Structure 1
Amino acid sequence: MSKGVHVAHNKLEASPQDQRGQGGHGAIPLSAGMLLVTLGVVYGDIGTSPMYTMKSIVANNGGIGTVSEDMILGALSLVIWTMTLVTTVKYVVIAMKADNHNEGGIFALFSLVRKVAPWLILPAMIGGAALLADGILTPAVTVTTAIEGLRTIEWGHALLGDGQTNAIIITIIIICGLFAMQRAGTSSIGKLFGPLMTLWFLFLAGAGLFNMLGNPSILRALNPIRGIMFLFSPINHSGIMVLGFVFLSTTGAEALYSDMGHVGKANIYASWPFVKAALILNYLGQGAWLLANNSNPQMLAMDIVNPFYMMLPEPLRPFAIVLSAVAAIIASQALITGSFSLVSEATRLNLMPHLRIHYPSDTKGQLYIPLVNNIMWVGCIFIVLLFQNSERMESAYGLAITVTMLMTTTLLTSYIAGILKHKLGACVFALLFGAIELCFFASCLTMFFDGGYVMIFLASLLFGLMYVWRRGTAIERTQTILLPVSKYIDQLGRLRNDETYP
């Protein structure tokens, strides 16, 4: 009887990834079609980061009037090497090796290492809660940034005005439309995501190259020494806080690992070099434009200068604003569907209550969870109304995801040490990425009172839900297993011998 109970217990604990693995779930092969899908599904969040990263760095360093060659080269160096170390090395090269039957993400990683140490459930829950909290903020910040880009053209400025009311109204209308369409499914719209994001990345690369032509020396930003010198230089007016804004360039790295099961690691390996090259070219182009316009009276008169839009010729800006709005919607869609998958996995791991799940189309893996959709919908509108503008949202943006990355580092360290049996490699990995991400976390923590407290509050609520549900189901299971059967042997014997019952 005891053996049967424990077998049932282990089946209850099996993750969705484990179950798929037992069923022979195979890896998705490399193909042109899946490369397009990968571009549309995986890179929406990190792909929209050039819209606000350099803007935030410059604005919080004192504005365009403080721009100098050393400042721009140093800031760009920090951005480029953050993407290289965190996104490329940690996630693409290392984390994607830790797949659970070709599935990725923090809960899939936990399924691999949970036998190493029972306490690893805590970093898994903390990381999952922070990632869900980030999913609420991402649609708000990306759509708001895209709408605010209208101010860079004359008719758009007339539409929005100098206040923020009209921008908030348009942002909320778009967000409402985005969440309302989840019920019907997005398979038909999803077919457009790949080509549109391909166009987006080609646009990023082209705009960056166009502005680099006037200042090829901007390529000196590829030197990592430039970033270290700027970080500790007096021209860095933000101090360690600058890392919080630099970190915005890599906020979509966690999604890259989480979406591995949907698109296949081969397609991510093949597409990431193209995406990274487009992002770096755009950042370098923004830097070149800032150096060329740091004494422009028109730019100096502006409160906040967004080089992403301003570096474009004015006739091209309407197209750029429309395209950036589409990219923001795609990025938001990826976070919403990713949140549905994350909640579904948490439910199967007994970390969350069982919720009603709909499958609105025949597209493999597409979920719709009404309660989660409605909570995120209300949460996004609350974030927009609370923060009002993208600049304040960006202050809260990095904190939750740095927590997720630290928890992923903890689980990966356990995987390298406990599963791969490579203790030295685990120490090097933990020291390198733990130090980098702790620096990012400390810099983001300085923005706690500027909005970071909202994300910590949301993540804490979600973690509390997971913890209480986990403890409750564990107690219930323990009570069942420890039932004192000996007290009922006589009654069971009488029932067995009672011939009046079939």
Structure 2
Amino acid sequence: MESASSSASPESTTQHKTRMTALALTALGVVYGDIGTSPLYTMKEVFAVSPHPVPLTHDNVFGILSLILWALILVVSVKYVAFVMRADNRGEGGIMALLALAMRNLAGDARKQTTILLLGILGACMFYADGMITPAISVLSAVEGLEVAAPALHSMIVPITLLVIFILFWVQSKGTALVGAMFGPIMLVWFSTLAVLGIVNIALEPSVLQALNPYYAYQFFAVSPWVAFVALGSVVLAVTGAEALYADMGHFGRKPIRLAWFGLVLPALVINYFGQGALILHDASTIKNPFYLMAPEWMLFPLIALATLATVIASQAVISGAFSVSRQAQQLGFLPRMQILHTSENQQGQIYMPRINWILMIGVMALVLGFGSSGDLAAAYGIAVTGDMVITTLLAGVVFHGVWGWSLWRTGVLVAMFLVIDLALFGANVLKIPDGGWVPILIGAVILTLMATWKQGRDLLLSRLRSESMALEPFIEAMGKYPPTRVPGNAIFMTPDASGVPHAMLHNLKHNKVLHERVILLTVKTGDIPYIAEDNRIEVEALEHGFWRITMHYGFKDDLDIPRDLELSSQHGLELESMDTSYFIGKETLFARRASAMAYWREKLFVGLFRNADSATNHFKLPPNRVVELGAQVTL
């Protein structure tokens, strides 16, 4: 027995290591595209392009390099990798998953729930703003390499960027499974290239390695505190994309993401930044575009092509993240129903949302046309990223204390340490508001208004419908005493309130004077966890006189499919023949009114969102030829 187990152990260990390596390689393409393309513009932004450039001196270069290094270590390695990634919602990460986790432990405290809810929505809004800015600045910065290789092509930078962006968004509907298989190897080549370029240029000025010492960051602040503080607004560009480590945790798990970070990404980034610093110290004129000027002339066009591929991959990850966050927000009730298409038969997470896709594309193109260069656009970048970082820290603090059971003292010390860094980075970016930082604030404000209006409007609508509906139990008793004509078959009435009579049922009874042999009241509930097992999907309750009540439970990342999951009812004694079943849905027509619970303009906005929402038939995957819609007018 001992020899058998000992011989099996190395094999299983080898298989585990191979699997971890494969996942880490895939994570390179999905998780690290954004932070991996930051060397394209960070150093250039610090010294040459930003509205508040840092004077180019030997000490300042050392100070900036030290700040970038320790920002990568403290923000990414310590905050996200060591702590925040442990705050998972049953394996899932991201701002919405963190919000659901934090909300779960505040049941009964409405004031705290409202505060946390607002924070979570703000974080999602900042993510959307980041989702527009990342493709614009990444692709622009890559294509700007043409100006270094061939200055005559300067006028083609924006058109080429727009073309790349259009192709990027156009292929979303085709699915990313095939292209995604190439992401990891391409990013492996990209990070290897970053490291090689860095090593070659560090050899020009080896003394730059002294900036590994945090003393140079401290000295930078001690000698020039205001310059150093302002510089943080550009240094933060080096850590953009850190939130992707947490957001994509559900796809890969902690270990592969950590393996890729410490095994390749962090070393390659640090080496490249230090290589750029060495080049600048060796030749100050290279500050105009230190990344591309690191490379020999023969390598420029291949490097531009590789950089463009890397930025497309970075943008792809952000776009996929926007689809994922949108679906989660929709399931949790913060966005209207929108069409969701699955682009892979094997992977549930690969989805495409046409409306989100084209809105993002228009926003990205508008940013490219409005700013015209990565340097100008960088001023708009930091606010969204640092705002999301602050919110993540606050929500994580709630989880540390409420879920993990940490003491207030222990939680407070850790959260305070993270907040000092996050707020310093955020404060430095506030200075850039007049130069473009207002853009993500405006985007966030618009999305916040839409999400808050939809959430409050839905609550108001449900309240109106509930106040006008009859209690279910007396209605069923009346149907038993004074039965209407019952016709063969099953009638499923979709209702958000399982305790009341659906309006569609009342209208059907009023106009058609009949009820089906079996009447099922179906309520769909979305929980605060990502996925719900099939065993816990459905609750079936038999009522009197042929009435049944079914409750469907979904996680906020589950795929909603009512006909598929109704087959589970047979396990609870309710057999439903699909061809003998009709679905009845209420089709409300809304009217805004003054002196209501919401401002009149917000009511009008909600009515517009409601009218343009995807149909319940598509949303719940109901068979269109089995659906009956019955209208009702509701005044908000």
Q: Same fold (TM over 0.5)?
A: yes
Q: Where do 5+ consecutive residues of structure 1 fail to align?
A: 1-26
Corresponding position of 1:425: 410
Whole-Å Cα distance in 1 between the matches of residues 49 and 368 of structure 2?
21
Corresponding position of 1:75: 64
Corresponding position of 2:390: 406
Q: Where do 5+ consecutive residues of structure 2 fail to align?
A: 1-15, 107-111, 487-636
Segment drifting more, 319-328 vs 277-286: 319-328
After superposition, residues 274-289 of structure 1 pair within 5 angstroms as 274-289=264-279
Q: Is the 8 A contact 1:187 1:363 kept in 2?
A: no
**Secondary structure at 1:31 match in 2:** helix
Change (3 A) 1:211 1:472: same
Corresponding position of 1:254: 243
**Secondary structure at 1:435 match in 2:** helix
1:93 Cα deviation (Å)?
0.5
Segment drifting more, 324-333 vs 466-475: 466-475
Corresponding position of 2:152: 158
Amino acid at match of 2:445: S
Q: Is the 8 A contact 1:61 1:237 kept in 2?
A: no
Corresponding position of 2:122: 126
Q: Is the 8 A contact 1:28 1:264 kept in 2?
A: no
Corresponding position of 1:314: 297
1:87 Cα deviation (Å)?
0.8
Whole-Å Cα distance in 1 between the matches of residues 330 and 214 of structure 2?
43
Whole-Å Cα distance in 1 between the matches of residues 255 and 467 of structure 2?
47
**Secondary structure at 1:362 match in 2:** coil
The answer to whether the aligner puts 1:41 opposite 2:30 as a matched pair is yes
1:37 Cα deviation (Å)?
0.8
Instruction: Tell me the C-alpha RMSD between the 2 structures.
Output: 2.3
Amino acid at match of 2:241: G
Q: Is the 8 A contact 1:28 1:263 kept in 2?
A: no
1:361 Cα deviation (Å)?
2.5
Whole-Å Cα distance in 2 between the matches of residues 168 and 75 of structure 1?
30
Whole-Å Cα distance in 1 between the matches of residues 448 and 54 of structure 2?
43
The answer to whether the aligner puts 1:342 opposite 2:342 as a matched pair is no
Corresponding position of 1:10: none
Q: Is the 8 A contact 1:413 1:426 kept in 2?
A: yes
Which of 352, 376, 381 is residue 335 of structure 2 equivalent to?
352
Change (3 A) 1:491 1:206: closer
The answer to whether the aligner puts 1:456 opposite 2:441 as a matched pair is yes
Change (3 A) 1:464 1:29: farther
Change (3 A) 1:402 1:498: same
Amino acid at match of 1:404: D
Corresponding position of 1:144: 140
Segment drifting more, 402-411 vs 420-429: 420-429
1:228 Cα deviation (Å)?
2.4
TM-score by length of 2: 0.69
Q: Is the 8 A contact 2:233 2:382 kept in 1?
A: yes
TM-score by length of 1: 0.87
1:29 Cα deviation (Å)?
9.8
Whole-Å Cα distance in 1 between the matches of residues 31 and 68 of structure 2?
20
The structure with the larger Rg is 2
Q: Is the 8 A contact 1:39 1:198 kept in 2?
A: yes
Whole-Å Cα distance in 2 between the matches of residues 393 and 323 of structure 1?
22
1:232 Cα deviation (Å)?
4.3
Whole-Å Cα distance in 1 between the matches of residues 87 and 248 of structure 2?
13
Task: Render the CA deviation track for 1:432-455: whole Å, top value 9, x for unaligned.
Answer: 111111111111111101111111
Q: Is the 8 A contact 2:63 2:220 kept in 1?
A: yes
Whole-Å Cα distance in 1 between the matches of residues 255 and 466 of structure 2?
44
1:313 Cα deviation (Å)?
1.6
Q: Is the 8 A contact 1:134 1:400 kept in 2?
A: yes
1:360 Cα deviation (Å)?
1.9
Segment drifting more, 470-479 vs 123-132: 470-479
1:61 Cα deviation (Å)?
7.9
Corresponding position of 1:3: none
Change (3 A) 1:62 1:134: closer
More helix as a share of residues: 1
After superposition, residues 219-298 of structure 1 pair within 5 angstroms as 219-234=209-224, 238-273=227-262, 274-294=264-284
Whole-Å Cα distance in 2 between the matches of residues 186 and 414 of structure 1?
35
Whole-Å Cα distance in 2 between the matches of residues 287 and 319 of structure 1?
23
Q: Is the 8 A contact 1:29 1:264 kept in 2?
A: no
Whole-Å Cα distance in 2 between the matches of residues 350 and 471 of structure 1?
10
Task: Render the CA deviation track for 1:66-91: whole Å, top value 9, x for unaligned.
Answer: 42221111000110111111111111
Q: Is the 8 A contact 1:77 1:226 kept in 2?
A: yes
Corresponding position of 1:4: none
Corresponding position of 1:104: 93
Whole-Å Cα distance in 2 between the matches of residues 494 and 460 of structure 1?
50
Change (3 A) 1:141 1:493: same
Whole-Å Cα distance in 1 between the matches of residues 54 and 22 of structure 2?
46
Structure with more contact order per residue of length (Cα contacts < 8 Å, sep ≥ 6):
1
1:265 Cα deviation (Å)?
1.3
More strand as a share of residues: 2
**Secondary structure at 1:421 match in 2:** coil
1:48 Cα deviation (Å)?
0.2
**Secondary structure at 1:354 match in 2:** coil
Amino acid at match of 1:112: L
The answer to whether the aligner puts 1:85 opposite 2:80 as a matched pair is no
1:470 Cα deviation (Å)?
1.4
Change (3 A) 1:346 1:425: same
Amino acid at match of 1:444: N
Whole-Å Cα distance in 1 between the matches of residues 435 and 185 of structure 2?
37
Corresponding position of 2:610: none
Corresponding position of 1:331: 314
1:223 Cα deviation (Å)?
1.5
Q: Is the 8 A contact 1:62 1:237 kept in 2?
A: no
**Secondary structure at 1:114 match in 2:** helix
Whole-Å Cα distance in 2 between the matches of residues 104 and 65 of structure 1?
36
Corresponding position of 1:20: none
Q: How many residues are aligned here?
A: 461
Change (3 A) 1:35 1:239: closer
The answer to whether the aligner puts 1:389 opposite 2:385 as a matched pair is no
Amino acid at match of 2:173: R
Change (3 A) 1:411 1:270: same
1:490 Cα deviation (Å)?
7.0
